[in-house]
Amino acid sequence: MNDYKGVLEKHSVLTFTPGGNSMWPFIKDGKSSVIVERLEKPEKYDVILYDRNDSRTVFHRVLGIDGDSLIVCGDNQYVAERVNVSQAYGVMKGFYSGKKYVDKRSKGYLFAVRIWCASLKVRKLIIIAHNHFLKAKNN
């Protein structure tokens, strides 16, 4: 169990290396380090840190805001979920991909994110094709 929320409350910023593939292709399992700040006001395309109702901590992208609800989804997923704004407490400022730092406000990153998010309806096909390619490559 982690205490990301406690660290952010005390220090306002934290750095960690996310595990899992839910944020591929931007954040890579065990290879990307992210810098997260305390969340003030979530915005569309932010990557937020939040706790699900089952107490699991999740790091996913905001696809939309509907009142007190955030519509979020991992970049490597195709089913969005609703999260109450009160469950979110951190927002990614940027990340390191190897030695290269990517700021969440950089034009190239934002352009790629917008295109990727627009692909949500066909993302399932993209992910399945990518996974088949990886399996074929590894066999």
Structural domain range at position 87 = 4-138
Does the predicted TM-score (pTM) go above 0.85? yes
Q: Which residues contact 57 (CB under 8 A, 6 or more apart)?
A: 2, 4, 49, 50, 51
Q: Which amino acid is at 80?
A: A
Q: What is the mean pLDDT of the chain?
A: 92
Give residue-wise pLDDT tens across range 53-79.
888 899 999 999 999 999 999 999 988
Q: How many domains does the chain have?
A: 1
Percent of the chain residues topping a pLDDT of 70? 99
The CATH number that applies at residue 10 is: 2.10.109.10
Q: How far apart are CA 64 and CA 138, in angstroms?
A: 37
> Is residue 19 helix, strand or coil?
coil
